[in-house]
Each structure stands twice: as structure tokens, then as C-alpha cells.
Amino acid sequence: MTPLLLIGAGGLAREVIAAIAAVNSVRPTFEVLGLLDDAPDKHGSVVDGVEVLGPLDLARSHPDAQVLICTASSSRQDSRMRISRRLGFDDSRYATLVHPQASVAAGTELGAGTILLACAVITAPQQVGRFVVAMPHVLLTHDDVVADGVTLAGRAALAGTVRVGESAYIGQGALVREGLTIGAGALVGMGAVVLNDVPAGETWVGVPARPLEVTV
């Protein structure tokens, strides 16, 4: 069994703990040593049977353990990239996690630290970036290119040949038309139907998706 530390003691970590139990029920693979979180009030608490051992930097004291960064928030889209830069580990320290009920086309390459939850589907071989999170029922189709740190919330779907830039966040149930580009750091709101390229850093919502007006 591979010893594993989970970073972040929030909702995604709970989903990852459940996904690991599903993986282990098929083939014993990971031994979860604990959770790491910078919030001192969480230290010593237990999340779904897993203890919060201390702050993130404790990962350095466990050089033999692999790591999964389990943070995902539309308000801190680049959190996994920032944490990975802070830790400075090379890719070999990071696990990849694929729920046994995900469907991944043979030949697909998943980057270090990437997490696919239940019923995520990748229909044709492609290269998925590092520290990508695909929540349940995400659909990636032929020739999509998903960069490092992208978050795809549940049921988000990319038609073919869509490019998603680093740390972009695609909200729950959003649909992206084929051939489009979602720029780095862009945010697509839940339920959006995206029919045009979304520029880097912009937030688009609605059907059809339009830029979200920022009122100061």
C-alpha cells in the first residue's frame, strides 16, 4: 500500500477519502496517513476517520508518503498550483487518483496530482494536466486539452477540441461548445452554456454565457 497524505481538510478531501475507499475495495492501493491543513483549529480533529495531523509543511517530514492536494474553490482557483509551488516537491511525490467508476480512454495520460471522481468520463486518449480535479460526471471528449490546475465541477462537459487554460474553473453542469478556448484563470459559472471563447481571467455565466458584470 502506498502511504498517502491529503492536503486540505475540506469537502473535496471528504470526497477523496471516499474515492480512496472505493479504489482500495477493488485493489488495496493507498494507506491514508492523515490530512494536513494550515487551520490550527482543525488540528487533531478527525474527518471521516482520518486525523488532521497538522499544517501543510508537515508533508516534508514524511518523505516516503505520496501527496494529493484536495482543495477546490471557485474563489481560490489556483490553490492547488500555489500549494504545489510552496511545497516544491517534484511530480514523483504526487499520487493520481481515479475512482474505479470513472471511465478513462486507454492511452490517456493523467498528470501528477490529478483526481478523477466517480463517473468522470474521458472518451478518447488525451493528455490531462497536473493537479486537475474532475468531479463526478465530468465529461471530456476527443482532443480536449486540459491544463494544469483546472477544476471541473460536477457534470461539467467539454465538447471536442476544447482547450482549458491553467487554473480555470468550470462550474457545475456547464457546457462548452466544441473548438473553444477557456483562458487561464477564467471562471465559467454553474449551468452556463459557453458558445464563445472565454478570455483569461474573466467570469462568464448564463445561457448563452456572457461576461459577469462587475459592479464596484
Ligand X SMILES: CC(C)(COP(=O)(O)OP(=O)(O)OC[C@H]1O[C@@H](n2cnc3c(N)ncnc32)[C@H](O)[C@@H]1OP(=O)(O)O)[C@@H](O)C(=O)NCCC(=O)NCCS
Residues within the interface to ligand X (CB under 6 A): 74, 135, 153-154, 171-172, 187, 189-191, 203, 205-206, 212
Q: Are 170 and 189 in contact (CB under 8 A)?
A: no
The nearer residue to ligand X, 85 or 210, going by C-beta atoms, is 210
**Closest Cα partner for 197 from 170, 162, 166?**
162
How are strands ordered across the β-sheet holding 115-116? Answer: 97-98, 115-116, 133-134, 151-152, 169-170, 187-188, 203-205, 210-211
Burial call 79-110: b when 16+ CB within 10 Å, e when fewer: bbbebbeebebeeebbbbbbbeebebeeebeb
Q: Which is nearer to ligand X, 136 or 165 (CB)?
A: 136
d(CA 137, CA 211): 26
Closest approach of Cβ 134 to ligand X, in Å?
A: 11
Give the residue with the Cβ less far from ligand X, 95 or 153: 153
Three-state SS at 136:
coil
Q: Which is nearer to ligand X, 34 or 189 (CB)?
A: 189
Query: Smallest distance, Å, CB 149 to ligand X?
Result: 16
Nearest-approach distance from CB 5 to ligand X, in angstroms: 22
User: Which residue of this chain has its Cβ atom nearest to ligand X in the complex?
Assistant: 189
In whole angstroms, how close is the CB of 92 to ligand X at the nearest point? 29
